[in-house]
Amino acid sequence: MDLGLGIDTGGTYTDTALVELSTGKVLAKAKALTSRNDLSIGISESISNMGEVPLKDIRLVSLSSTLATNSVVEGKGCRVALIIAGEEYKESVPVEHVVQIQGGHTIRGAANCPVDLEAAKDFVAGIADQVDAIAISTFFSVRNPEHENALKEMIASNWDLPVVCGHELSTQLGFHERTLTAVLNAKLIPIKAELIQSVRKVLTDFQLAAPLMIVKGDGSLMGEKLAKERPVETILSGPAASLIGARNL
């Protein structure tokens, strides 16, 4: 019998369910209080609360969560610095630190001017210990990501900080929207990484070797590596999982 384990970590409760993959039948379910200081505690307790279940038959683990949703709704998240080039900064972008440097491209992908890597390096050197991630957005990077890639490479070679580029998240025009998306994604990276790490710890404790997949906002699944890089795609994973579950029931 092949089983699937579903985990949903919310702001208050962590729910688990054991499902027979061939029929969709729910064999067991349970919940526990979410332990915000250590998410693995609530996850472990919820699994244990299902009672004696054949964990050895689990072939897939699916994770959804409203932690990212809550972070967006409440205007919270991790500390982010923003580097922009080729366009003016708009104060509506919610970041702790921002710098505008020379760079960016035209709509045809030609460079307006060389990207100022030294200015960006000086900026990051001054705030690296005050932020959890860095977002980069340059004008028309969807037409030519050269400057964003150069900035990301420079930061990665000097600091151990997550870096998000606007062109990695969207191929559509719209500098301001792309900038906001990059910032939001950067704010969520540490949150999603902590959740996945907590689930991994629990799976190890229960000796579960099944692959871990994360629910996206459209209800489909993504691998944990991609989820760590693009957590913005999981903002609505909790609500999406609820809708899919309700439809199947």
Q: Which CATH superfamily hosts domain 3-73+191-248?
A: ATPase, nucleotide binding domain (3.30.420.40)
What is the pLDDT at residue 134?
96
**HSE (side-chain half, CA atoms, 13 Å) at 16:** 28
Cα separations (Å) of 248 from 33, 234, 245? Answer: 25, 21, 5
What fold is seen in the domain 80-187?
Answer: Rossmann fold (3.40.50)
Cβ neighbourhood burial of 147 (10 Å; 0-12, 13-18, 19+): buried
Q: Give pLDDT < 70 ranges for the chain.
A: 249
What is the pLDDT at residue 20?
92
Tokens of 190: 């540490």
Q: Where are the domains of the chain?
A: 3-73+191-248, 80-187
What is the pLDDT at residue 214?
94
**HSE (side-chain half, CA atoms, 13 Å) at 97:** 18
Provide the β-strand partners of residue 224: none
Tokens of 41: 């505690």
Residues 6+ apart with CB under 8 A from 238: 8, 10, 64, 65, 66, 69, 215
The reply to whether 3-73+191-248 and 80-187 are identical in fold is: no
What is the pLDDT at residue 96?
83
Provide the β-strand partners of residue 62: 6, 213
